[in-house]
Structure 1
Amino acid sequence: MGRIAVVAGPDAGHAYPALGVGAALVQRGHDVLFCSGGEHARLAAHHGCDFLELPLLEPTDHDGDFGHLLWQRGAAMALPLAAALRQRDLDLVVADLLTRAGSFAAQLLGVPWVETIPHHLPDPASDLPPVGSGRHPARHPLRRFDDRRIHVKQAASLAEGWRQAAEAARGIGLQRVAAPALRLVATLPGLERPRLQWPARAHVVGPLAVEPPLAPLAPPAGDDPLVLVTDSTATDAAGGLGRAALDALRHLDLRVVITSSDLAPRIDGRVVVGRGPHRPLLAEAALAIGPGGGGFVSKAAAAAVPMVVVPQLGDQWEAAARLQEAGVAAVLRPGRLSPRRLRWTVVRHLADPRPADAARRLADEAAQLGPDLAAWLVERVLAGERPFASGPAEHLHATATTP
C-alpha cells in the first residue's frame, strides 16, 4: 500500500478536512503521516496516522502580506519539511491549498501531490460573480459592469501571486510551480454554481472534516426544536455570534446549544454553552447558525439541517451566497447582527418548510460522497492515473467502480 504524507496548517477549518482524507486512507490500508500544528497530534493518532509537526510555524513580521505568507513562507517551510519526509520514502503528498509547504515539498521529493480544498472551488470565472465577493449572479447591467471591473483586478492580483510563486519556487531550487494531480473539493454539487468550463482535475467529494477531540455536549432536555450555534474557528475571525445568539434565543420556545471559545461554559435552562463535536447535535437539530465555514456548512448539509449564516471573512461570504441561492440558508450581514434581527430571522426560517426541503436535497448528495471517495481518488493517483471530472456532479449516482 501507499506511503502518504497529508499536510495542512493548524487552522481547524483546513486541518480537519485534510485529516479526514488521511483517516480514510488509513482505513483503506495505507501508511499515513499527518503534518500540521502540534495541537492536532492526538487527533491524528486517534485516526491511525503518524504525526509530524510542521516546521517554522512561528509568526513573522511579513505575515500581513498574503502573497508572502502563502508562497515565501511556504517555500521556506518546504525545505526542512522535505528533509524530514525524505526518510519516509513517500509515494504521494496530500496538501491543503493554503499550505504550500506541502506542495513544494512534494516537488522537492519528486512525488505527485493532491490538493484539498475545504470549501467551494475558489477558481475565478468570467461567467460567475467575482470569487469571494459573496455576490449573487448579476441581473442588472451596472452590476455586470462592476463584476467585470473586479474580475480585471482579480486577474491582476492572481498574476502577481503566480509571479511570487515562481520566485519562491526558484528560491528553493525548483524550476516551476507544479500543478496538483487532482484537487479534492470538500463541498456539494448543489452548492457549486454552473460555469462554462469546469477544471478537469477538480473533483467535488463532499464533506471531509473529522470531528475535534472533544467530549460530547448534551443538549437541553425536552421536545422543543434544537438550534445549534457555532462561532468561527478561523484565525482572526471577529466572533461575537455566540453572544448575540445567547441574547436572541434564550427566551424562545427552543433548545439552544452554543459551541464557542469566547463564552464561558454554562447550562441555563434551555441553553447549553460549551465545546463539543457538532455531528451528534446536528443529528437532532432543526436549525444551525454559524459564520459559514466550510466544515460546519458541510456537516449541517450532510445532516439535512437548514441554516442561518452570518459571514465574517474570506470564503464564508461566498458560502453564504451559495447556501442562500440553494434555498437552504437565510443570510444576515455581520454589520446588521443584533439579537432582535437574529431572533426574527430564526423564527421566520423555522416557520418556512422550504429550507428544510432544500437541506434534504443536499443531504442526499452528501450521502453519496465523502472521505472514502476522496481516498479512492488518491489511490487512482497512486496507480498512475489522473481521473477526469466533467463537472461538480461527476460522482453522484456513481457506478460500482467507485466506493
Structure 2
Amino acid sequence: MRFLLVVPPLAGHVAPLRGVAAELASRGHSVAWCGPAPELSTLVSGRVFPAGDSGPFSPALRPPELRGFAALKYLWESYLVPLADAMVPGVASAVASFEPDVVVVDQQAMAGALAAARCGLPWATSASTSTELADPLGALPKIASWVDELQAGLRARHGVLLGDLRFSPHLVLAFTTRALAGPSRQAAPVAYVGPTLPAASGEWSLGDDRPLVVVTLGTSNASAGARFLAESVDALAGMPAVQGLVVDPSGRLISERVGLARRIPQVAVFARASVVVCHGGHNTVCEALAAGVPLVVAPIRDDQSMLAQQVVTASAGVRVRFDRAKAADIRNAIESAGAFRPGAIRIRESFAVAGGAKEAATHLESLAGL
C-alpha cells in the first residue's frame, strides 16, 4: 500500500507522523511526504514531493504581540488559507505521480484534504494537537461562522464538496489520550493513539543530585519569551534546593547559579526532571507527561492556552501568566507542582497503553482496506 503524508513545514506538526511513517515502512508499505520545499526536506527523511512555498506564509512572520482573535485572524487569513491555495497544485501532482491508497493530512495542510476529496481517495486527519477536538469556537458562533466562510471559499476555488477540511469523515488520528484531552466534541471518527515520541537520545550531565527543574519555551519563542526566561532564571537562582536548567536559544542570559543551554536533548533530559516549565506546546507537554513529570505551563498563543487548561484539568500541573509572571510567581508554581505528580503519572500510563505509532499505522491500514 502507498501512503502520502501531507504536512506544513512545521516541526511540531511533522514530529507525530515521523514515527507513523517509520512504522508503515517497517510493515512493507511505501510512504512519501508532501509539503513546501525545500523546508520539508530538512524535517523528514525519505521521498518528498514539493507542494508550494511556505516562505510568504511562514508563521514566523506573525507579529509576536498578536493575541486572541487577532492572532487567530492572522493564522487563518495570512497562513492557513494562502498556504492551502499554494499547496494544492503540488499535492495534486504528488497524488497523480505517487498514486497513494490513503492520504494523511495534517490539520494545517488543508490542501491534502482538497486534493484527496477531488480524487475520491480515502484520507485521514493528523491532529498533531488536540485542541480542535474540543471545538474551541463552539461558544463563539460569529468567529466559527467566519472560519466556515474561509473554508467555503477554499472548497469553491478548488471545486470540492466537502465538510470541515480539518476533520476527515473517515479517520482522525489524535496524538493524545482522553485522559489528557477529554472526549472529542466533533462528529468525526477519532482514534486516540497517544503521542508518538522519539526515543531518548543524546547525553546530559547533571550537576549534582538535587531535583532538576527545566524551563523551555521551544525554539520558536526565543524573542517573545526573553522576559519570561529571565524571570525564570531569577526564580531558580533563589531555589538552592533544586538545580535549574533554562533553555535559552538566544544565548543572551547569564547566571552563575542556574544552568543555561541553547538546546537540549529534550526527551532524555525530561526523563531526569522533577518539574518542567514550558509554553504549552503539544510535543513538549506530551514529552514531559510521558516521563510522568508535572508541569508549570505559561501559554503564549494559539492552542497553548487550551493545552494548559487540559493539563490543569487533568491535575498534571499548574498554570501561570506568560506575560505577567514574575520570579516569585514562577518560584511558587514550581514549588507547588510536585503535588501534581500523581496526575502526571496517570497521563503517562494512558500514553503507554494508547499504542502510539503502531496503533496509528494499524488504523491507517484499516482505512486502506487491509
- Whether TM-score is above 0.5 comes out as yes
Name which of 283, 291, 307 aligns with 2:279. 291
Shift of residue 311 of structure 1?
Answer: 0.7
Taking structure 1 as reference, are residues 225 and 238 closer, same or farther at Cα in structure 2, changes over 3 Å only?
same
Structure-2 residue corresponding to 1:365:
350
Name which of 277, 281, 288 aligns with 1:300. 288
Alignment of 1:203-222 (within 5 A): 203-210=191-198, 216=202, 218-222=204-208
Name which of 168, 180, 183 aligns with 1:191. 180
CA contact (8 A) 1:3 1:30 kept: yes
Structure-1 residue corresponding to 2:54:
57
Structure-2 residue corresponding to 1:239:
225
SS of residue matched to 1:93 = strand
Shift of residue 235 of structure 1?
Answer: 7.2
Matched, 1:223 2:209: yes
CA contact (8 A) 2:246 2:258 kept: no
What letter is aligned with 2:344? A
The two structures have a TM-score, normalised by structure 1, of 0.77
Shift of residue 53 of structure 1?
Answer: 3.9
CA contact (8 A) 2:230 2:253 kept: no
Alignment of 1:101-180 (within 5 A): 101-123=111-133, 131=136, 151=139, 154-177=140-163, 180=168
CA distance in structure 2 between the aligned counterparts of 1:245 and 1:260, rounded to whole angstroms: 11
Structure 1 unpaired stretches of 5+? 126-130, 133-149, 385-403
CA contact (8 A) 1:220 1:271 kept: no
Structure-1 residue corresponding to 2:102:
92
CA distance in structure 1 between the aligned counterparts of 2:204 and 2:39, rounded to whole angstroms: 25
Taking structure 1 as reference, are residues 269 and 65 closer, same or farther at Cα in structure 2, changes over 3 Å only?
closer
CA distance in structure 2 between the aligned counterparts of 1:236 and 1:79, rounded to whole angstroms: 34
CA contact (8 A) 2:176 2:195 kept: yes
Shift of residue 266 of structure 1?
Answer: 8.0
Taking structure 1 as reference, are residues 3 and 265 closer, same or farther at Cα in structure 2, changes over 3 Å only?
farther
**Matched-pair identity in %:** 25
Matched, 1:75 2:62: no
CA distance in structure 2 between the aligned counterparts of 1:344 and 1:106, rounded to whole angstroms: 50
Taking structure 1 as reference, are residues 99 and 211 closer, same or farther at Cα in structure 2, changes over 3 Å only?
farther
Structure-2 residue corresponding to 1:29:
28
What letter is aligned with 2:359? L
What letter is aligned with 1:361? R
CA contact (8 A) 2:127 2:172 kept: yes
Task: Quote the RMSD (CA, aligned, Å).
Answer: 3.0
Show CA shifts across 1:48-81 (max 9, x none).
x322343121215998644433234313321222
Matched, 1:8 2:18: no
The two structures have a TM-score, normalised by structure 2, of 0.84
CA distance in structure 1 between the aligned counterparts of 2:318 and 2:129, rounded to whole angstroms: 19
Q: Which structure features the higher share of helix residues?
A: 2
Show CA shifts across 1:323-346 (max 9, x none).
112111111012321122111221
SS of residue matched to 1:256 = strand
Name which of 358, 381, 390 aligns with 2:367. 381
SS of residue matched to 2:210 = coil
Taking structure 1 as reference, are residues 158 and 189 closer, same or farther at Cα in structure 2, changes over 3 Å only?
same
Deviates more, 1:301-310 or 1:31-40: 31-40
CA distance in structure 2 between the aligned counterparts of 1:4 and 1:43, rounded to whole angstroms: 18
Structure 2 unpaired stretches of 5+? 63-72
CA distance in structure 1 between the aligned counterparts of 2:259 and 2:222, rounded to whole angstroms: 27
CA distance in structure 2 between the aligned counterparts of 1:29 and 1:265, rounded to whole angstroms: 48
Taking structure 1 as reference, are residues 308 and 170 closer, same or farther at Cα in structure 2, changes over 3 Å only?
same
Shift of residue 83 of structure 1?
Answer: 1.3
CA contact (8 A) 1:211 1:277 kept: no
CA distance in structure 1 between the aligned counterparts of 2:57 and 2:16, rounded to whole angstroms: 26
Taking structure 1 as reference, are residues 199 and 171 closer, same or farther at Cα in structure 2, changes over 3 Å only?
closer
CA contact (8 A) 1:119 1:186 kept: yes
What letter is aligned with 1:20? G
Matched, 1:311 2:299: yes
Show CA shifts across 1:173-218 (max 9, x none).
33445651211111221123357x6635011111125479xx8351
CA contact (8 A) 1:33 1:52 kept: yes
CA contact (8 A) 2:270 2:288 kept: yes
What letter is aligned with 1:19? R
What letter is aligned with 1:111? L
CA contact (8 A) 2:233 2:258 kept: no
Structure-2 residue corresponding to 1:389:
none
SS of residue matched to 2:100 = coil
CA contact (8 A) 2:172 2:188 kept: no
